[in-house]
Structure 1
Amino acid sequence: MANLMHIPSHTLIESLGVSEQFSQYVSLASEALSENTQIAYRGDWQQLGQYLYHQAISLPMSVEQAIEFLDYLAQLNYKSATITRKTASLSVLHDSCGYTQSLNPTTHQAFKLKLKGIKKRFGVAQQQATPLRIKHLELLEYLYTQAPITVAQVRDLLILNLAFDAMLRRQELVNIEVGHIQYAETGEGGTLYIPFSKTDQEGEGTYVWLSSKCMHYYQTWLTMTGVSQGQLLRKLTKHGKISKHSKVTDTTIYRTFKRVGQLLSTEQEILNFSGHSGRVGAAVELTKAKTSLAEIQNTGRWKSPVMPARYSRQLQAEQSAMAKLRP
């Protein structure tokens, strides 16, 4: 796992000589935070350190200096979500150095109003991944089964069905092991054990349902590759054999979604799939099936209903009163 202490020169620790309290926080955070969160903090603090160094500013920043930093970020044309995250990193930095409450500029009303104004100017809407729908899974299966199916095609179908059924993130797909999947007692479908995830950093674990179709491609994959333990999804050579360095990465998952999206795209529908398309598509299909928002949130393991509600907005418009009045 990345270590927050590995921060290059001309950053906060070396050029600004921040407190020992900050170093203690970094050490603890390296054990408690996810790798992606650590990477985000490290990048944000490096940028902030360089800014403070060149502006000859020391901590704690004044409210006026923090507002000027927001203007600096806005001039770089960062998206609203990125500026919000960098603001959170700025706040954590001050708190971890002992500059809490009134000494933390991000807690002041003037700073909050400035951030709100930037969000209004740039907009807060984020580009949503193209949903992977059931019709796309069925079309891909049809295209792949018109001739003897290959190992690579089975892996594509397994990845997409797993992502959809279990509403998985890319890293969750990468982390699946053979032993995490079990057949249901009824003989139809199965379950996937997710030992930890973005919203379960402490590793309490959870079980999710897998359809009989997904289990079919799971068994086909095991049979064709001989994989029997360890990581389920493996890299393949050009000849469809398990690669010597066979561990897939989230980049492998991303490229799979992109390639399938290009394959299924038509002039009427451009499918810009990404690693989140399975989660988005499943949320849309569950909304279509009249599933409650609370159930969708629970199934997708979201901490709040905000994201699943956002994913299903377009479908909700299609099912609105006006859509019924003028179809």
Structure 2
Amino acid sequence: MTTNSISITSGFVSTYKKAVNAYFTDIFTKLPKNTQRAYVSDFNEFAIFCEQENLPGFNEVMDNNLHCIKRYVEVLCQSPLAYRTIKRRLSALSKFLGIAQLPNPITQSVYLKDFVRLSLAENEKYQLSSRQAVPLTLDLLEQINESVIPDSLLEMRDLALINLMFDALMRADEVVRVRLDHINRRDNAVLVLTSKSDQSGKGSYRYISNSTLAMIDEYVEESNFDAANSVPRNPEDPRRINSGILFRRLSNRGHALLPYDESATGKSSAVLEYSSVYRIWKRIALSANIKENITPHSGRVGGAVSLAESGATLPEMQLAGGWRSPEMPGHYGQQAAVGKGGMARLAKKRGR
């Protein structure tokens, strides 16, 4: 792991390369793989933000660093990101400032501390008062699959992604890393990497249904076909899915994948980001006329709730979702049991 892992075109990392490289060499490489990936990902997001906002990034001027972080906090609080995710991203930036020995307004500025605290408190209050994401249970998934008849590569990709997230109880950051060779058709399984609960980085295998495999095959087949000339794409065409990441970005018209470069990162990468996965869920919900507030986490929660409703045991739910402890699947099982409890039976008996 080197600073080359950080996809920043501006010069504010290379300026402090010596201090950063010393930390990476002596400490960073000894951290858990998931922690390494999280730090790099969080810093890349900030670098992309600086480029989009035409900000210089960090330097030796406290006021500049304060302005960059303040603006970043404003944008993060307007996004669908969770409170804890925003806190983690700011923690990663604070860590980098310390490593590079730069002025750190996150820890040194009373003004910024209060601004961040009040902004996050307001954001959390908004999130709690807004509609919470609902589980994508099997009946809602069937409504999607029956309503959305894909007639474009975009819709084929979106349907395959959502069905895979349900089957394998996947988080957004897991599904975007699925590679073509991670899918085992013989065993109806997919290898899931970078799970939050998998500090070893070995990954876990999850189930894929035959219908989801068929959707993936249709998406790959359509990706590898040149519709403009009605011929299969050349095997060397970088828009083909021969290997590598499965779910990729599409051209503006949604009829072809963007050229894929395994080594590209940041804005040059064809790999989806969380915001793209979020838009996929909202777009599919709109197409299927689903009024409930489903988000990327709805597939994981909905898969767990559907398992509980079908009578799955806690160990079975743990295995299906890659949980290390029974706490979360137990919570979802309790959620599923509400509709079968004593009050539910009483209401049904009295016609309430």
Give TM-score, length-normalised by structure 1.
0.63
Q: 2:192 aligns with which of 186, 191, 194?
A: 194
Q: Counterparts of 2:277 and 2:106 in 1: how far apart (Å)?
A: 36
Classify 1:80/1:26 alpha carbon distance in 2 versus 1 (closer, same or farther; 3 Å).
farther
Q: 2:145 aligns with which of 124, 141, 146?
A: 141
* Pairs aligned (count): 254
Classify 1:248/1:75 alpha carbon distance in 2 versus 1 (closer, same or farther; 3 Å).
closer
Give the aligned partner of residue 118 of structure 2. Answer: 76
Higher relative contact order (CA 8 A, sep 6+): 2
Task: In structure 2, list runs of 5 or more residues that go unmatched.
Answer: 13-21, 43-87, 225-240, 261-268
Give the aligned partner of residue 181 of structure 2. Answer: 179
Structure 2 SS opposite 1:233: coil
Give the aligned partner of residue 85 of structure 1. Answer: none
Q: Counterparts of 1:308 and 1:81 in 2: how far apart (Å)?
A: 27
Give the aligned partner of residue 259 of structure 2. Answer: 244
1:53 aligns with 2:74: no
1:284 and 1:311 in contact (8 A); partners too: yes
Give the aligned partner of residue 92 of structure 2. Answer: 42
CA drift of 1:240 comes to 1.0
Q: What code does the residue aligned with 2:272 have?
A: T
Q: Counterparts of 2:311 and 2:134 in 1: how far apart (Å)?
A: 21
Give the aligned partner of residue 317 of structure 1. Answer: 338
Q: What code does the residue aligned with 1:287 have?
A: A
1:167 and 1:279 in contact (8 A); partners too: yes
Classify 1:28/1:306 alpha carbon distance in 2 versus 1 (closer, same or farther; 3 Å).
same
| Structure with the greater alpha carbon radius of gyration | 1
Give the aligned partner of residue 299 of structure 1. Answer: 320
Classify 1:228/1:76 alpha carbon distance in 2 versus 1 (closer, same or farther; 3 Å).
same
Q: Counterparts of 1:249 and 1:228 in 2: how far apart (Å)?
A: 18
* 1:11-22 matches, cutoff 5 A: none
Q: Counterparts of 2:257 and 2:311 in 1: how far apart (Å)?
A: 42
> Deviations 1:234-288 (Å, cap 9, x if unpaired)?
222215112235723133212101211233345xxx3222221110110110110
2:154 and 2:254 in contact (8 A); partners too: no
1:181 and 1:191 in contact (8 A); partners too: yes
1:264 and 1:271 in contact (8 A); partners too: no
Task: In structure 1, list runs of 5 or more residues that go unmatched.
Answer: 9-19, 56-68, 83-120
Classify 1:321/1:228 alpha carbon distance in 2 versus 1 (closer, same or farther; 3 Å).
same
Structure 1 SS opposite 2:320: helix
Classify 1:320/1:2 alpha carbon distance in 2 versus 1 (closer, same or farther; 3 Å).
farther
2:152 and 2:255 in contact (8 A); partners too: yes
Q: What code does the residue aligned with 1:138 have?
A: E
Q: 1:256 aligns with which of 254, 272, 280?
A: 280
Give the aligned partner of residue 311 of structure 2. Answer: 290
Q: Counterparts of 1:126 and 1:311 in 2: how far apart (Å)?
A: 21
2:206 and 2:321 in contact (8 A); partners too: no
Give the aligned partner of residue 163 of structure 2. Answer: 161
1:206 aligns with 2:204: yes
Structure 2 SS opposite 1:234: coil
Q: Counterparts of 2:109 and 2:137 in 1: how far apart (Å)?
A: 50
2:164 and 2:212 in contact (8 A); partners too: yes
C-alpha RMSD of the superposition: 4.1
Classify 1:290/1:127 alpha carbon distance in 2 versus 1 (closer, same or farther; 3 Å).
farther
1:220 aligns with 2:262: no
1:34 and 1:198 in contact (8 A); partners too: no
Q: Counterparts of 2:36 and 2:281 in 1: how far apart (Å)?
A: 24
Q: Counterparts of 2:346 and 2:191 in 1: how far apart (Å)?
A: 44
